[in-house]
Structure formats: structure tokens, C-alpha cells
């Protein structure tokens, strides 16, 4: 693809050699003369000076030297993501049901659906238009899958789960398993029946080996456009809002509420019935105590989580402890000398 063609497709302007042929995309450090890269940060601006990339997608105010071919856009990372789809288009869907797949009774399958080898689909399940079900997937009874969904290999969906349009579930996902609910009686734990459901809205993406538990009663829900990384656990009766981003190895205890556009880092632990309000940011590794409320727009870090400024002040104080200890030891020594003289 020529630079001018890509710029036109992106609705952007270019400078330099518009006839240059681009064959692929690559990082700034390794991109060659026929490859496209992008400048998305101040650090990247410095790296771009030494990059051999044939063309760069850059912000509008990028100080481009005369020898460099660039495409100027308002959001370089977003434009680069769109460009990547031109060089690496989504694998073409091949409709059809593999002979080894097992399809239950009363199943509704839309047109252009692909069901891979050794997949199993339970009774009275509905599969929407142009959905792809990978090898070894197991879909329970009375499941609803919207149009354009992608289930990679070995996804498991339990009974009575509703999934919207354009949802992507990566390998090893388990949707609708029982929540962790038990009652103690006579020194023994007895299972509290988990009879609720799971609802996943449109355009959600859930990473490999993540689990979303069904509600004990009611619904566990994930809102439109939310993205969960690999190995994320969503406990029973959680309500995750729209366009929430959650990094890997994060765990939500039962009944947690996360409002729209929150950002949650990796390895975060969130206690029962905590509430994360809209656009709050939880730093990686922090711990949210049971029933804690993180206010809208607040940035928190540490365990137990506290506002970022306070967390940084405490870290600074901890760093000063060795010096403080030496000072106290010196004061004690001088005090002992004064007492001995007295």
C-alpha cells in the first residue's frame, strides 16, 4: 500500500514520498524502509530520530525533518491501530459446522456461523449471524450469543448465559461457573446454590483463562465495550460498567460494582461489595478493602489503597527510615553520655 493511499484511507494528510510502498507495520526500533510505525509519546519522538521506518504516523505538531515521510493525525496510536488492520486483516470466516461438532436439540444457528472441531452446543441455544466458535468450545443450554462473536478454542460457557454482539472470548475463558458461595453449619461448609445468570453486553473482550462467575441470585453483568485482560476473575453478583479496562491477574470478590470508564491495573485485589466509581484509576497491585468506595476520578495505589499523593508521601517516608534510625541511635548515644556525666 502506498503512503498516499493509506493517508487517504485514514482521512489524514501526508508529507514526503506519497508513492512509497509500505508492506507491513513494526516498532520504531526495528522498522525498516518498507514498514510503517508511529510516534505516540515524547519518548517516541526521540526514538523516531534514529528510526529507519519508511513512514511514521505522527501527531499534528510533530517537528518532522524534510527527509522523513509522515502521516499527521490527531491520535497516532488510534490511527496506527486502524492501519494495522489493513496490513493484517482479520482471518476470513469459513462458515459451516465441523462433522465432529455436537449440536443439541432446538438450537438456532444464524447464517455464516462457523463451528469448529469437537465443539459442543447445548439444547435451545441461539447463535447469531457470522459468529465463530473455535475447536473444543463447550456452550451450555439456553445460551444466547449475539452476531459477530468470536470464541477462540476451548472456551466454556455454562447454561443460561446471555452474550451480546461482537464479543471476543479468548482460549480458556469460563463464563457462568458457580460463584464462591458457602454457608457454615455444624463446623462444615455447605454449598449455597448459585442459580443466577451472567449477562455480557456488546463488544466486550475477555482474555485467556479468565473467569466470570454466575450470580448466586440475580445477575453478574459486564457492560458494553469493557475489556478484561488474561487471568481476570469476576466473582458472583459483580456489576462491571461500560468501557472499563482491567489488566491481568485482577480479582473481583462478590458483589463488587465498577462504574463506567474505570481503569484497573494488574494484580489488583478488590474485596466484597466494594464500589469503584466512574473514571477512577486503581494502580497495579493495590488492594481495595471490603465495602470500600473509590470516588469518581480518584487515583489510588497501595494496600490498603489510598490516594496516589498520600501513597507516594508514605513511600518517601519509608525511604527515610534508615536515616531516621541512625539519627535516633546517635541521640540515644549522646543521651547516655550526658546521663553518665550527671
274 lies in the same domain as 174 = yes
The neighbour count for residue 50, using CB atoms within 10 Å, is 8
Contact (CB, 8 A) for 211 and 252: no
Distance (Å, rounded) from C-alpha 220 to C-alpha 240?
8
The more confidently predicted of residues 137 and 312 is: 137
- Read off the CATH number of the domain in which 108 is found: 2.160.10.10
- What's the pLDDT score for residue 66? 76
Domain identity same for 145 and 238: yes
**In terms of domains, do 159 and 74 share one?**
no
- Burial degree of 30 (CB within 10 A; 0-12, 13-18, 19+): exposed
pTM: 0.84
Same structural domain, 304 and 332: no
Q: Mean pLDDT score of the chain, rounded to an integer?
A: 94
Overall domain count for the chain: 3
Query: The domain that contains 35 carries what CATH number?
Result: 3.40.1390.10
Instruction: Flag whether pLDDT at 94 surpasses 90.
Output: no
Residue 170 has a pLDDT of 98
Model pLDDT for residues 118-165, shown as the tens digit of each residue: 999 999 999 999 999 999 999 999 999 999 999 999 999 999 999 999
pLDDT in tens, 265-288: 999 999 999 999 999 999 999 999
82 and 106 housed in the same domain? no
Residue at which a domain ends, from 87, 116, 145? 87
Pairwise pLDDT comparison (321 vs 257), residue with the higher score: 257
Distance CA 283, CA 339 (A): 50
How buried is residue 336: exposed, middle or buried, by Cβ count under 10 Å (0-12/13-18/19+)? Answer: exposed
Q: How many residues does the chain have?
A: 342
Distance CA 106, CA 2 (A): 51
In the predicted structure, residue 72 carries a pLDDT above the cut 80: yes
Q: Select which of 152, 233, 236, 311 is catalytic.
A: 236
Query: Residue 339, SS3?
Result: helix
Instruction: Quote the pLDDT of residue 101.
Output: 97
Give the domain range for residue 11: 3-87
Per-residue pLDDT band at 47 (split at 50, 70, 90): confident
Instruction: Find out whether 67 and 61 touch, Cβ atoms under 8 Å.
Output: no
User: By CB neighbour count within 10 A (0-12 exposed, 13-18 middle, 19+ buried), where does 266 fall?
Assistant: middle
- Whole-angstrom distance, CA of residue 276 vs CA of residue 112: 40
Is-catalytic flag, 118?
no
Tell me what the mean pLDDT of segment 101-129 comes to.
96
If you average pLDDT over residues 103-131, what whole number do you get? Answer: 96
Amino acid at each position: 500500500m502506498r503512503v498516499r493511499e493509506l493517508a487517504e484511507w485514514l482521512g489524514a494528510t501526508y508529507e514526503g514520498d506519497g508513492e512509497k510502498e509500505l508492506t507491513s507495520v513494526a516498532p520504531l526500533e526495528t522498522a525498516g524502509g518498507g514498514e510503517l510505525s508511529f510516534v505516540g509519546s515524547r519518548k517516541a519522538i526521540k526514538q523516531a530520530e534514529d528510526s529507519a521506518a519508511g513512514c511514521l504516523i505522527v501527531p499534528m505538531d510533530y517537528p518532522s525533518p524534510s527527509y522523513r515521510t509522515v502521516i499527521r493525525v490527531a491520535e497516532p496510536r488510534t490511527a496506527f491501530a486502524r492501519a494495522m488492520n489493513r496490513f493484517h486483516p482479520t482471518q476470513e470466516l469459513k462458515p459451516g459446522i465441523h462433522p465432529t461438532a455436537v449440536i443439541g436439540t432446538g438450537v438456532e444457528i444464524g447464517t455464516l456461523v462457523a463451528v469448529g472441531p469437537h465443539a459442543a452446543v447445548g439444547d435451545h441455544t441461539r447463535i447469531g449471524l457470522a459468529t465463530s466458535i473455535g475447536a473444543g468450545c463447550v456452550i451450555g443450554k439456553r445460551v444466547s450469543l449475539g452476531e459477530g462473536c468470536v470464541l477462540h478454542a476451548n472456551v466454556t460457557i455454562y447454561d443460561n448465559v446471555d452474550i451480546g454482539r461482537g464479543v471476543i472470548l479468548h482460549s480458556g475463558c469460563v463464563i457462568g461457573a458457580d460463584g464462591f458461595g458457602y454457608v457454615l453449619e455444624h463446623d462444615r461448609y455447605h454449598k449455597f446454590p448459585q442459580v443466577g445468570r451472567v449477562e455480557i453486553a456488546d463488544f466486550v473482550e475477555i482474555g485467556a483463562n479468565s473467569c466470570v462467575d454466575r450470580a448466586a441470585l440475580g445477575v453478574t453483568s459486564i457492560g458494553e465495550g469493557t475489556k478484561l485482560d488474561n487471568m481476570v476473575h469476576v466473582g458472583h453478583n459483580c456489576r462491571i460498567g461500560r468501557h472499563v479496562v482491567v489488566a491481568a491477574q485482577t480479582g473481583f470478590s462478590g458483589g463488587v460494582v465498577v462504574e463506567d470508564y474505570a481503569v484497573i491495573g494488574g494484580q489488583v485485589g478488590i474485596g466484597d461489595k466494594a464500589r469503584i466509581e466512574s473514571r477512577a484509576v486503581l494502580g497495579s497491585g493495590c488492594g481495595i478493602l471490603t465495602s470500600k468506595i473509590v470516588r469518581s476520578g480518584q487515583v489510588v495505589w497501595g494496600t490498603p489503597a489510598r490516594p496516589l499523593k498520600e501513597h507516594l508521601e508514605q513511600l518517601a517516608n519509608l525511604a527515610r527510615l534508615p536515616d531516621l534510625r541512625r539519627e535516633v541511635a546517635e541521640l540515644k548515644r549522646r543521651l547516655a553520655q550526658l546521663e553518665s556525666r550527671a
